[in-house]
Structure 1
Amino acid sequence: MYDYAIVWEWLSFAVRWLHVITAIAWIGSSFYFIALDLGLVKRDHLPEGAYGEEWQVHGGGFYHIQKYLVAPAEMPEHLTWFKWESYATWLSGFALLCIVYYGGADLFLIDRQVLDVSAPAAIALSLASLALGWVLYDLLCKSPIGKNTWGLMVLLYAVLVAMAWGYTQLFTGRAAFLHLGAFTATIMSANVFFIIIPNQKIVVADLIAGRTPDPKYGAIAKQRSLHNNYLTLPVIFFMLSNHYPLAFATEFNWIIAALVFLMGVTIRHWFNTTHARKGRPTWTWLATAILFVLIIWLSTAPKMLTGETAEATPPAIFQKFAANGHFPAAKDVVLSRCSMCHAAEPVWEGLLFAPKDVRLEDDAAIAAHAREIYLQAGRSHAMPPGNVTGMTAEERRLIAAWFESTVAEGS
């Protein structure tokens, strides 16, 4: 039965790898087409209906690209669709969400000091929030305010900040940031699936039927693409944030998230302006640096500003790991080899905060992280890093025996 933990870990790794591959494909093509679109030049010799052209050089050859704002006069023989990159990224990301956060809800999703709910209830809240995000966003886009692109983006920013705060009231800090990224990515991918591609298919159908395509479909798709453009970089930040507890596990994490969205705007503004050949607004990098310094300050702000919450009673599964007969020996190993770093106040030189905010100073915490300890220090030598504390082979066997015997007892 304990081999299940190893298989599950490899499954998580495989799906994470797939997610990264598909995300690179989606974000790469998105960035390329945004740069291409902004760099188009209108010239007199262009064919009828062509909006602009661009000459590019890459890989030892030259490329001549023309864009039709609505559609060409007739359907081309071969047409490449860019959609599966988006779909595969969302599907693999959702699969990873299920494996890591739904499969390990008691450890990664639920913080009983924040909201004491069952795993099914927490998962239901997660799913509902993702669906709600798209419905609310789509309604805003189709409302009268949707005709004002920048006004809509300001309102969307307010929604995202509200969700950042809301998620921190439901889940662990790690899960809150991950869900904020998933919430945003769901909007982006749904834009492609429900709006951009269907609108393009309407235009293609009109061409095939010999009808003149309505330009409104292209305008709607372009507005959604603009939103995706400015949301991409914050999504990447939130997906990477689970490695950095100073981002997700501090008192003002939702404010940090709000500032991350602003940094995404300032960085993309520089690239968009540059690609459009409208200058190089270097002020955006200064603004980004100021925002980032503010984030650093917020991550280390005194805890007296917000106060501390009381410890919650650990779930029964954690109590089971603490009651196992091998636990005293395993606990001694963890306390002697791990707790100098994984503590509220690490004593290891250079560490101000516990890595990934994992603190292994008491029975409940050690039992709560049993699976991680087993994989990182029992079945592998990942921890301690470089074995700086000198964990012996016998100590690793004690950790493995503790976890494996507990799992065996419960099977």
Structure 2
Amino acid sequence: MAVLRAFKAIRPTENLASKVAALPYDVMNTEEARVIGEKNELSFVHIDKAQIDLEKDVDQYSTEVYEKAKENLYSMIKKGIFVKDNKKNLYIYRQIMNGRIQTGIVGCTSIDDYINGVIKKHEFTLPSKEKDRINHVDYCNSNTGPIFLTYRSNNRINEIVDEETKKKPVYDFISDDGISHIVWIINDDQAIKEIELLFGEIDALYIADGHHRAASAVKVGLKRREDNPGYTGDEEFNFFLSVVFPDTDLTIMDYNRVVKDLNGMTVDKLVNNIKDKFEIEKVKNKEPYKPKKKHEFGMYVEGKWYRLTAKKGTFNELDPVLSLDVSILQNNLLEPVLNINDPRENDRIEFIGGIRGLEELERRVNTDMKIAFSMYPTTIQDLMGVADSNKVMPPKSTWFEPKLRSGLFIHELK
């Protein structure tokens, strides 16, 4: 059963939270982070991507960068920008985007739950990406970015959250992208204990976003265990920072595809080569085509939109992976027709999150790409089904919005 436990958060003072909070490190490159950091000396990018405070020719994975991240973090603590709570609490983190509300509980989850499969995964991780965050966590002695988890909604947990959110929040601000961020502290020991016990009755937590951060946090914890052979299991390094949301609060956006060429074919040849697998219909109006149901796709090429509908035999509804639309497109069109064998490694394909809109697909095809595919979003139920089967999704299957902000909560490992 799942572990969620209270911790003493290091967090920004109330008046500085909006300036400190930043998008996760992995949704921006160094130059984008540098622009943010130059405008805002308090932004958490100075910790998450500390290379922005060094010379431009410094390798972003060098020891110097991780040492700078540690220096920046503890300098901000020393200056009083961050404070550490004097008792173990849980926290509530609510985000509102375009009127949609998602409300999660912030606490620490167990590295043993990750190892033993109570915390379930749906993606592969890359060792190179893990190494970066392992070093970052180890040098900073802290989990600096929360893992985005979900669970099957629990009525009693929802009731407690509803009661706690009637109180005055500690943070309440709107970020530059128009998303509201509201935080409450759950400091009542009885409420904390009940929440911890209720999570102890939940048999699975699911990683929604942050697979590399989770894997890295676990490996740092295991490293600390090796360094402390007398560990009891109660030390902070046995746990990592998470925000857990009920599945009913979350929405996955579409994750679309653009390809640089038609693999040597004309459009007519392409259409002829896919007609055995898909029903194909030209879209009469000039609006971008957004799929309305599963197994339906939009295709934009040479200024025209087509609706593709997967035929029987292109998917297996009994298989949680093969029934996914991302699998259907990959297995029946991208790989056999366009020769995109491994989308993780092939530089002819790119992925565009639905937050950018379908107009972005048109723009890319009209400039540097040749063809685009709009997708029907993967569902939370799809994600859970794949994870429960101990399988993984194809790359770029899910796009979650809004993104959790880094810097609002820090979990110190000792």
Q: What TM-score range do you get, normalising by the shorter chain?
A: under 0.3
Q: Larger relative contact order (C-alpha < 8 A, sep ≥ 6)?
A: 2
More strand by share: 2
TM-score, normalised by the number of residues in structure 1:
0.24
- Which structure: larger Rg? 1
Higher helix share: 1
TM-score, normalisation: structure 2: 0.24
